Amino acid sequence: MALRVAVVGSGPAGSSAAETLAKAGIETYLFERKLDNAKPCGGAIPLCMIAEFDLPAQIIDRRVRKMKMISPSNIEVNIGSTLKDDEYIGMCRREVLDGFLRNRASQLGATLINGTVHGVDIPHNTSGSYVLHYADHSDGSVEGVSKSLSVDLIIGADGANSRVAKAMDAGDYNYAIAFQERIRLPADKMAYYEELAEMYVGDDVSPDFYAWVFPKYDHVAVGTGTMQVNKLKIKQLQAGIRARASHRLAGGKIIKVEAHPIPEHPRPRRVVGRIALVGDAAGYVTKSSGEGIYFAAKSGRMCAETIVESSHSGTRIPTETDLKGYLNRWDRQYGMTYRVLDVLQRIFYRSDATREAFVEMCADRDVQKLTFDSYLYKTVVPANPLVQLKITAKTIGSLLRGNALAP
Ligand SMILES: Cc1cc2nc3c(=O)[nH]c(=O)nc-3n(C[C@H](O)[C@H](O)[C@H](O)COP(=O)(O)OP(=O)(O)OC[C@H]3O[C@@H](n4cnc5c(N)ncnc54)[C@H](O)[C@@H]3O)c2cc1C
C-alpha cells in the first residue's frame, strides 16, 4: 500500500511538512485556501532559519542589526553591538516567504490544491480513511466547487483558527490578539528604520506583552499584542504605541490594518488518531517574543520526518503512537525554551516597575549576547558559569532597584 497524507494549510508549517513528505516520495496533498495569502505578521525570522530552510537571499527584505528597547518612562536602550558583521534578524514579507516554501513543496512533488477544507470525517476504526471535504477554488471562484478526498493521515497546519483541530477535538488554547497597522513613512523617517526595529513596553502599550515598530519592505509595521481580548482595549493600546512613537511616524500614511490571534500555549491534544497538529494550529508561539514562524516550519518538518520514518518511506500507515513520537521529540528539543520565555514574560511584563528593570537589564552586553545568540541560533548554549552568575545578579539588582518585586 502507499500512504496518502493531506496537509491542511500552506503557511511555513504546512509547506515545510509537505516538502519533507514529498522529498521522501510520499503521496502528499497540500491544501491552501488563498494562494496569495499575506498572513498578518511582523515577518521577523532568526538567522538560523535561512540556512536550515535553504532560503534564497531575496526572501529577506531587510537585515535588522539594531534593536531599541524603550521603557515605560521612555528610557531607550540600544541592542546589537554584540552582533558580528554577518549576523542579523531577517525581515520578510509573508506572502513572499510562504509563496516560496509552498512552490518548492509543489515542485518537489506535493499536489497543491487551492481549496478550503470545511470538514473531516473521522473513521471508526484504526485503519479506515479520513475524508476531507473542501471547496475547490481552482475555477477562480470564492465559493468553489464541493469536493472530497480520502487519505490515511492528516497534518493540521491551518493556523490559529484551525478547522482540523476542531474536527479532531484537540481542545482550546488561550490566545492573545495582535493588532498591526502598516504605515508608509516619508523617506527621511523610513531611513531611520533602515536596519532598526523598536520594542516598546509599558501599561499604555500592552498590559502583558510589548508593542513594536518593525521595518518591512517599504514601510513599517506598528502594532501591539495583548491577552486582554477586547476591541476597545486593543484600540487604546494601539493609540498608545502610535503616541509613543509619534515623532518617528510623523507624516506616515496607513496602508493596511490587520489583526490575528496568537496562541498562548499548546493545545491539550496535538495528536489524536492519525491527525497531528503543527505550527500555530498546535500552539507553538513563544511567550515574551511572540515568535512563531521558525517554530511552525520546524514543527512541520519534524512531524513529517516522524511520518517518513515510521511509515518506512510511505509503505505502512503510522499509528497514533508513531505520531506521538513527533511530540516527544518536539517537547524534548523546545520544551525548555517555551518554559524559560514563559517565566520571563511573567516576571518582566508584570508592571511598569518590572518593565523598567527589564529595559535596564537589556543594556548589559552579556545579557544582549545571550539573548541574541538564543534567538538567532535557537540553541540554548549555557553561558559560562561566571557570566551566568553575573547575569543573575544583574537581573535581581535591576528588579530590586525598580522595587519591582514588591507585591
Ligand atoms: C501581528 C502578528 C505579528 C507576528 N510577528 C511575528 C514575527 O515577527 N516573527 C515570528 O516568528 N512570528 C510572528 N508572528 C507569529 C506568526 O505569524 C505565526 O506563528 C506563523 O504564521 C505560524 O505559521 P503556521 O504555518 O503555523 O500558520 P499560518 O501562517 O497561519 O498559516 C496557515 C495557512 O493555512 C491556510 N488555511 C487556514 N485554514 C484553512 C482551511 N480551512 N483550508 C485550507 N487552508 C487553510 C491559511 O490561508 C494559511 O496560509 C506574528 C503574529 C501576528 C498575528
User: How confident is the model at residue 127, as a pLDDT?
Assistant: 87
Condensed to tens digits (0 to 9), the pLDDT of residues 300-326 reads 999 999 999 999 999 999 999 999 999
CB 163 near ligand 1, within 6 Å: yes
Question: Could you tell me how far CA 45 lies from the centroid of its own chain?
Answer: 9
151 three-state secondary structure: strand
Containing 393, the helix (H) or strand (E) segment is helix 385-401
| Average pLDDT over all residues of the chain | 92
Nearest C-alpha to atom 46 of ligand 1 is from which residue?
A: 9
Contacts of 299 (CB under 8 A, 6+ apart): 13, 278, 279, 282, 284, 330
Enter the CATH code of domain 174-263. 3.30.9.10
Structure confidence at residue 347 as a pLDDT band (50, 70, 90): confident
**pLDDT for 32-54, tens place per residue?**
999 999 999 999 999 999 999 99
From-to residues of CATH 3.30.9.10 in the chain = 174-263
Residue ID of nearest Cα to ligand 1 atom 15? 292
Q: Point out the ligand 1 atom lying closest to the alpha carbon of residue 294.
A: 11
pLDDT of res. 386:
61
The mean pLDDT of 254-276, rounded to a whole number, is 96
Residue 275 burial (C-beta neighbours within 10 Å; 0-12, 13-18, 19+): buried
Report the separation in Å between the CA atom of 39 and the middle of ligand 1, taken as the mean of its atom positions.
Answer: 6
| Mean pLDDT computed over 379-394 | 62
pLDDT at 81: 86
- Residue 387's SS3 state is helix
Question: What's domain 4-41+94-171+266-337's superfamily in CATH?
Answer: FAD/NAD(P)-binding domain (3.50.50.60)
- Copy the grid coordinates of residue 8: 491542511
User: What is the pLDDT confidence band of residue 169, given thresholds at 50, 70 and 90?
Assistant: very high
Does the pLDDT at position 374 exceed 90? Answer: no
With 60 as the cut, is the pLDDT of residue 402 above it?
Answer: no
- Quick one: which atom of ligand 1 is closest to the CA of 134? 42
Residue minimizing CA distance to atom 45 of ligand 1: 9
How far is 167 from 161, CA to CA, in rounded Å?
Answer: 12
* pLDDT of 118: 97
Nearest ligand 1 atom to alpha carbon 179: 1
CA of 159 to the centre of ligand 1 (A): 5
- d(CA 328, CA 121) in angstroms, rounded, equals 27
**Residue 397 confidence (pLDDT):** 64
DSSP line for 237-271: HHHHHHHHTHHHHTT-EEEEEEEEEEE-S--S-SE
- 31 phi/psi in degrees, rounded to 5: -95, 135
Using a 10 angstrom Cβ sphere, with 0-12 exposed, 13-18 middle and 19 or more buried, the burial of residue 374 is middle
Pure H helices in 259-384: 279-282, 293-310, 320-348, 352-362, 365-377
Mutate to test the pocket of ligand 1, among 7, 33, 36, 164 (most ligand atoms within 8 A of CB): 33
Q: Please identify, by atom number, the ligand 1 atom nearest to the C-alpha of residue 258.
A: 1
Q: Is the Cβ atom of 42 under 6 angstroms away from ligand 1?
A: yes
The residues of the chain that CATH labels 3.50.50.60 are: 4-41+94-171+266-337
Residue 340 pLDDT grade (very low, low, confident, very high; cuts 50, 70, 90): confident
The Å distance, Cα 402 to ligand 1 centre, comes to 37
Residue 406 has pLDDT above 70, yes or no: no
